[in-house]
Amino acid sequence: MTVMPESELSQEVLAWRDPEMPSVKGTETPKDPNKGYIALLGWSVNAIKAAQNFDRRYIVIAPEWATDFCTANNIPFIPWDFIRLNDRSMEIATRLKEEGVDVAIPLFEETVEWSGAINSVLMDSPRMYGQSILFRDKALMKRRAQLGGIRVGIFEEAHEKDDIIRFMKRVNQTLLKLDGDPDDPIHVKAFDKAGCLGHRMIRTLEEIDLIPDEEYPLLMESHLSGWEFAVEAWIHDGKIQFLNISEYVTLGYSVFVPATKELESWRHAITKQIELLIKTFDIKFGLIHPEYFVTADGEMYFGEVAYRPPGFKAFELIEMAYGFNAYQASMLVFDPKSTKEEVAAFFPKEVEGAKGYAGCFGVYPRRRVVSKLEMPKETIEHPYFVSHELHEPTEETVPDRSAFGTHWGLVFF
């Protein structure tokens, strides 16, 4: 790729230049025309750097606001509004097919459906769009899992407050709760949002009144008390090529890899569950990120599955622990031109191939006013401390969070 000279860029655009970007330094890995041409759907600087250090051609499809950054850093780019659905929506698939792109890879939740639609055109496989809907709609996802014989909790859809009241009462009646007994909690989740966004645990009927009308419809689920964990599984030709178990110290607050010996002792059973999931959802390739519960009696319950990179920088944690780039791993298994031999040679041995443990903690300020960022000396001088992504507050009031919400930043160890 030709590096754009500074003299041809305006100062406004030049301000976005990253001197460490391989495409700017002139160190980008040469691209092999015999391997796949990949479209990255969404925005991730780490994914772009991974693509530049990989031997596949790539192009970034992201919102208009990424234009100046891509121009300044010599990144092949097509602007696209993923929020807007209209009669031009087919245009991006047609354009990528004419460009010679082989596959589209979703980088975040809101592009999963787009990748299914685009890949159904690129690969002439209409079923891929329908499959992507299953990965986006949590109610359909749970029904498909049930049809495949996968164990799930009780779930229903809620379109209004009264639906949640009825569901909570029925669940507790089923659990043979008597008058005066504390209710068993239920969970409500957005149909199509990532991670903890829109996720609430409801312990009392009064808490249902706190849910804004605009959050409906919702998925309602019974509470599963158990050990929750996540999996990152790279799949090629319908087979698991690498399976990482991510352990939560506290769900929604922390992740580390590899998992502890106690959770890794479940690897064989977890692998069997993932193989059943692959069969049930008819997954031939790509990266899946499912979540499960293991109960005290050893039963495994399916939570949900995503067809995109996990949150909490789990890809970056995997690279810290194992040494391979997880974004490149996804490009490899998505690429229809990858060979079995190339895929097998890419991945290390699970657990045994790890150089150590890597983890991060999300920071959620509990105070309403925060005036400054101050990292404790005991933290930054600790031998396990790596880095943090916290920023000085631009205003003193901490923003309100809906449900579990989003963390303020991550601290890596």
Write the pLDDT tens digit of every residue in 138-167: 889 999 999 999 999 889 999 999 999 999
Beta strands 254-257 and 218-222 are unpaired
pLDDT of residue 2: 47
Residues in the chain with pLDDT < 50? 1-2, 403
Q: What is the pLDDT of residue 4?
A: 58
Strand, helix or coil at 381? Answer: coil
Q: Which residues of 117-150 are buried (b: 16+ CB within 10 A; e: fewer)?
A: bbbbbbeeeeebbebbbbbbbbbebbebbeeeeb
- In order of their start, the domains of the chain are 6-132 (3.40.50), 155-222 (3.30.1490), 226-358 (3.30.470.20)
pTM of the predicted model, to two decimals?
0.90
Order of strands across the sheet with 57-62? 77-79, 57-62, 37-41, 103-106
The predicted pLDDT at position 138 comes to 87
- Predicted local distance difference test score (pLDDT) of residue 1: 42
Please provide the size of the chain in residues: 413
* Residue 233 pLDDT: 98
CA distance 270 to 275: 9
Between CA 346 and CA 242 the distance in angstroms is 10
Residue-level pLDDT at 401: 58
**236 close to 227: Cβ distance less than 8 angstroms:** no
Q: Which of 324, 318, 358, 314 is nearest to 344 (CA)?
A: 324
pLDDT of residue 397: 67
**Residue 297's pLDDT is what?**
82
Contact (CB, 8 A) for 41 and 106? yes
